[in-house]
Amino acid sequence: MNVQSFIGGTPLVELRTFDVPAGVRIFAKAEFMNPGGSIKDRIVRHILDDAERRGLLRPGATIVENTSGNTGAAIAMLAATRGYRVVLTMPDKVSEEKRDTLRALGAEVIVCPTSAPPDSAEHYVTCARRIHAETPGSFMLNQYDNPLNAEAHFRSTGPEIWEALGRSVTAFVASGSTGGTISGTSRFLKSRNPSVTSVLLDPVGSIYHRYFHEGVVDPAQIAPYFVEGAGEDHLAKCMDFSVVDDVLQFTDADAFATCRHLAEREGLLCGGTSGANVWGAVRVARSLREPATVVTVLPDSGSKYISKVYNRDWLVRNGFAAGRDLSLETTA
């Protein structure tokens, strides 16, 4: 067996320290236990396997991709076992821990300004596409627009949740950037029980919330935020709103406060998207009556964000809670 044999099959952890109605349970799938440290291991294995079968990815080729870090780590990990060169582009808000991990795995990392607009040559997606076009024989996963992204979750994440919890699942809640997790998992769960509610979580500064509710993409609403791996400044084709029932907005403060709660009360050291997901799961759980089960995912580990989410100086410097114990903010 090699490292990819251990992708998937992650445990579901019941969260018991949040104030939700009696008889309403919250479960979180510990995706940080994948060998590459995140939920993105699932989609990268699925897409690379497909590309190799179809002859789109040949021995010794270069893989190019834009990433907020986790997809890049999965690519670098699997490329190391398959003999591919890797070039990754990412926005400069990505933590140093993530950048260093990618380099340690042998990837070339190109950092682009987070503030670059989507149509700019400096935008990390545009940069990746240019490198791909200029590199003969290269392969790009195109995770934002590739339907195999969502298919990976339809084939793995969704079935694993259903096998563990079955018809007790009331709602699935997750943030989205490419849309793969929310789209594929929700589609599978709804195929087994159409009454399952799917809730997408979107950070303030992203476009998905307004697009879902009003059908509008307003460039004026695009603004920087600190959470990595959630939200977007353009519509990803992988995002399937037909299986989404509602979209809730969260703030960086919501996500980071919940991260602290998870670490200090549940013993789970998780990244910002995990905090956002659990914040949303709690919001949904509080709207339900027993019996009900809300499921979410913990996409990656907090070890990738020690210099940010779990660094009090960084939190204070960026205006989060002015040094107060953030774990107290999560049930407000």
Identify residue 76 by its one-letter amino acid code: A
Q: How many Å apart are CA 298 and CA 28, to the nearest integer?
A: 6
Give the model confidence (pLDDT) of 227-279 as tens digits. Answer: 999 999 899 999 999 999 999 999 999 999 999 999 999 999 999 999 999 99
pLDDT, average across residues 295-321 = 93
Instruction: Please say if the pLDDT value at position 280 is more than 90.
Output: yes
Q: What are the tens digits of pLDDT across the range 174-206?
A: 999 999 999 999 999 999 999 999 999 999 999
Task: Determine the Cα–Cα distance for residues 162 and 129; give it in Å rounded to an integer.
Answer: 37
The pLDDT value recorded for residue 1 is 81
Q: Tell me the domains of the chain and their CATH numbers.
A: 3-33+153-315 (3.40.50.1100), 40-140 (3.40.50.1100)
β-pairing, 12-15 vs 24-30, is antiparallel
The pLDDT, as a whole number, for residue 97 is 86
Backbone phi, psi, residue 231, to 5°: 75, 170
Task: Give the C-alpha separation, 229 to 221, whole Å.
Answer: 18
Q: Which of 29, 40, 98, 308 is catalytic?
A: 40
308 catalytic per annotation: no
- E-assigned strands of 113-156? 139-140
CA distances 222 to 108, 176, 209, 225, 239, Å, are: 29, 16, 11, 9, 18
Q: 3-state class of 224 per DSSP? A: coil
What is the DSSP annotation of 127-138? Answer: HHHHHHHHSTT-
The C-alpha atoms of residue 57 and residue 51 are separated, in whole angstroms, by 5
Locus of tokens 């190109």: 110
Mean pLDDT of 320-327: 51
